[in-house]
Every structure is written in structure tokens, then in C-alpha cells.
Structure 1
Amino acid sequence: MRFEHRDTEIDASIIGRTTFGLLGGYWSKATDPEDLIAAKLNTLPEYVVSSMLNGGEADWSPTTVLRGDPVDRVRRLKELPGNELQVHGSWKLVQTLHQAGLVDVYRLLLYPVGLRAISAGSYTVDEGRSTAVLH
């Protein structure tokens, strides 16, 4: 497992249902062609891991809802040709993919906000689970 930060060539992102609702609600309406982040997020494929979201609700284009076992579905996506799949937010999904050995690289973007207050007391790494040392 490596921890690094660098510019990357992202082919698609994988997010959970809650993160999809948060990101899609804002970024799908950000249409300024000079906004490079919006342009990237609104053109790259989004894969949403959800058993509850239906295709009609996944209206942030181009979005595909992944149903079934997320480990199996992400493993299949990783087998496709391309550069990189990224998970944005979605701490439960990250935990699941980490435990299945499907995380190759962590790129951590840190912002000075009260994450515990925002996430209702949730942490990315639960007590009793494996943690990693950053070098």
C-alpha cells in the first residue's frame, strides 16, 4: 500500500449513494466551461454503489448504478483497460474496498474542517480495524 499525492489520469470515479447525492446535487448544476473541476466531474463516468438508488434517480450524467456485491463489481471495473478509478468521499465504501485489497493508492486531500462534526461522529478507520502508517 502506497500513500502519495500527484496529478493523475482518472478514467472514472466510484462513489456511494450518499456521496452521489451530495456531489451530484451541486456539480451537475455547475456548467461553467471554464470550471475545470466541474468539466471533469460532469464528463467522466460515475459508478454509484447502491442497492437503493434506481436508474431514474441517477440523473447526473454519465452515471451507472452498481448493484450487488460492491467488491465483485469494483474488481470487474479494475480489470477493464484504462488509467485509474478513484473513490471520492464514501468512507464506508473505502473501508469495504480496503478490506478486500482493492485499494492500490491513497491520495489524501486534507481540509481544515471539523470532520467529526460533519460526519456525525464517523471515522474513516473504525476502532479495531487495520490502520496504516503514513511515511
Structure 2
Amino acid sequence: MAKLNVFNFITLNGFYKGPNEDISWHKHGSEENEFAGDMLQFDSVLLFGRVTYQMMASYWPTPFAMENDPVVAEGMNKAEKIVFSKTLKNATWQNTKILGGDLAEEVKSLKQISAKSLSVLGSGSIVTQLAEAGLIDEYQIMIDPVAIGKGTPIFNNIKHQLDLKLIDTKTFKSGVVMLTYLPA
């Protein structure tokens, strides 16, 4: 069975995005970019919600992304991608498939049939739904040393308590801290 992990970055006060989908507060340095590039070397299927997918698809295939961060851009563009959406009809980013059925059922099926691991990037509403369904095997949370006034919490509107067990930490020179958890 394929493993499902989540990678998300948040502010010190728990927001994964600010008003109007703003993530400009998230600053990657060279060390974080190297880490991201290394993570993309693992053969995994990237999972997105529509909003995150459209944001990523508008950036990573561009010449600016290739110039700014060629290793991550190449990894993102080559990776197999699945976007969960009931409204998106066409996916223009290479190697992308759209699934529009019940999210939990689709992910259960993917975990059963996929030879690759599955990784949710961003996509907070999907993270909350999959956490509620007990389908996430590992959480990687990158905490930026910044607080913002308003935003959307990473587990927005979660209905049940989510108990996690810390299994690893990594501190970057920028002050960003990565915490890795398993469901308790």
C-alpha cells in the first residue's frame, strides 16, 4: 500500500496562507530550496486541490521558475500530478490528471493501487478532509519564523482532535523549523 504524506509550510500562528491566498510571507533560502529539490527526487505522485494546483501550475512551468530554481522546477514539472476538483475540466500542466469523485474514496483507491508514494503539497482543505478520514501516514510541517494577522489555519474546521507523534525535526539556518509527525 502506498504511503500518503503531507508537506505544508505555516506561520508561527498556524496559518498556511494569508488573505487572498497570500504566501509571500514564506521565504525559502538556498538551504530550503536544496531540501525541496532533494525531496522531489523521491518517486512520488503529487496531490493538489484545485486552488493550490492552479497556483503551482501558473508558476513552475514558467521560464522565471526555471531560472530562479531549476532543480525544483524540473522536479515539479516532471512529477506525476493529481488534482482533486469537481469544477476544473482541463489540466494544462504536464503529467496532470483530474479526479472529481469523493476525495476520501479516490485517495483510498490510490493508496491501494499506486506503486509510488503520494504527497499532498499545500492544499489545506484537502489536508483537513484526509486527516479527518485517517488517511494521512505522515505530516511534514515547515514552520516559518513569522506571524501574520489573518489567514487560514492549516487544519481549518477540523471536527475531531488530531493527535500526532513527533518523529523528527530539522532546523534551517533561516530559522525555519521542519517538524515531522505520524498519527499517534
What TM-score, normalized by structure 1, do the two folds share? 0.79
What are the ranges of 5 or more consecutive residues in structure 2 without an aligned counterpart? 8-34, 167-184
The letter for the 2-side match of 1:80 is I
Percent identity over the alignment is 28
What are the ranges of 5 or more consecutive residues in structure 1 without an aligned counterpart? none
Is 1:44 equivalent to 2:82 in the alignment?
no
Cα-to-partner distance string for 1:105-129 (whole Å, 9 max, x where unaligned)? 1111222344663xxx321223653
Which range moved further: 23-32 or 87-96?
23-32
Cα-to-partner distance string for 1:40-83 (whole Å, 9 max, x where unaligned)? 1000111000000002xx10111101111011111111112424
1:130 maps to which of 151, 161, 164: 161
1:102 and 1:15 map into 2 onto residues whose CA distance is: 15
Which residue number in structure 2 is paired with residue 67 of structure 1? Answer: 100
The answer (yes or no) to whether the contact 1:48–1:66 under 8 Å persists in 2 is: yes
What TM-score, normalized by structure 2, do the two folds share? 0.60
Cα-to-partner distance string for 1:2-45 (whole Å, 9 max, x where unaligned)? x9x9965242111000001111100021335x711111100011
1:111 maps to which of 141, 144, 148: 144
Is 1:94 equivalent to 2:127 in the alignment?
yes
SS at match of 2:152: coil
Structure 1 residues 127 and 43: alpha-carbon distance in aligned structure 2, compared to 1, 3 A threshold = closer
